[in-house]
Amino acid sequence: MGGRGTNGFLLKNFVFVVMAHNHMASSTHPNAPCAACKFLRRKCIQGCVFSPYFPPEDPIKFTNVHKIFGASNVSKLLNEIAPHQREDAVNSLAYEAEARLKDPVYGCVGAISVLQRQVLRLQKELDATNADLIRFSSNQNMLTMPQSSENYPQTPHALPPDYNTYSWNYDP
Ligand SMILES: [Zn+2]
């Protein structure tokens, strides 16, 4: 039983080592130019600013970014920011470029405004549901504890003005 567990552990480690080896073999191959240099038909020299972020396995990432921002602008931008922030910068450029290609008018602003409207709608729904809960629990208290005025919630008059439009039919 203990042996089986050990074998499972060894197998997992073996798979991890093989995967890590394959990954290193593909991304540090000395003859494979990065996606940017391949697209721009130039020699991918050691220290190429694009090479860590545009692997040859993902050519679309570079072509999108190049179409929208232009390779020289991206290269300038990468040289202006700290190396530890370059990966995040490239990923956000790739996201923005893809969104702009899909939606030439609004780009990622389209997605942002859809999400903002969704947040507003859900916030209104949540406020209305909370108002219903307060109203429902105050009705319950009146039915079950008519003598104890201390248990009545103090807030019904503080409900949002639009709560009536959302109210459920709890009234008998
Ligand atoms: Zn390169």
Q: How far is the CA of 33 from the centre of ligand 1 (A)?
A: 6
CA distance 84 to 52: 12
pLDDT digits over 41-64, tens only? 999 999 999 999 999 999 999 999
pLDDT digits over 88-128, tens only? Answer: 999 999 999 999 999 999 999 999 999 999 999 999 999 99
Cβ atoms 97, 116 nearer than 8 A: no
> What are 149's two structure tokens?
């005025």
Cα of 155 from ligand 1 centre, angstroms: 65
> What is the Å distance from ligand 1's center to 63 Cα?
13
Whether pLDDT at 163 is above 80: no
pLDDT at 67 over 50: yes
At 143, the pLDDT band (50, 70, 90 cuts) reads: confident
Q: How far is the CA of 36 from the centre of ligand 1 (A)?
A: 6
How far away, in angstroms, is 160 Cα from ligand 1 center? 59
Please, which residues have CB within 8 angstroms of residue 44's CB and are 6 or more apart in sequence? 32, 33, 34, 36, 37, 38, 51
pLDDT band at residue 140, thresholds of 50, 70 and 90?
Answer: confident
What's the 138 CA to ligand 1 centre distance in angstroms? 68
Centre of ligand 1 from the C-alpha of residue 61, in Å = 14
Report the pLDDT value the prediction gives residue 30, as an integer from 0 to 100. Answer: 58
- The rounded percent of the chain whose pLDDT value lies above 70 is 66
Q: Are 100 and 68 in contact (CB under 8 A)?
A: yes
The pLDDT value given to residue 157? 46
- Residue 146: the pLDDT is 54
Mean pLDDT estimate for the chain: 78
Gap from CA of 52 to ligand 1 centroid (Å): 8
For residues 119-148, one letter each, b for 16 or more C-beta atoms within 10 angstroms of the residue's C-beta and e for the rest, the string is eeeeeeeeebeebbebbeebeeeeeeeeee
115 CA distance to ligand 1 centroid (A)? Answer: 36
Non-local (6+) Cβ contacts of 26 within 8 A are: 32, 55, 56, 57
Q: How confident is the model at residue 147 (pLDDT cuts 50, 70, 90)?
A: low
Q: What is the C-alpha separation between 21 and 18, in angstroms, rounded?
A: 5
pTM confidence score: 0.59
78 alpha carbon – ligand 1 mean position (Å): 13
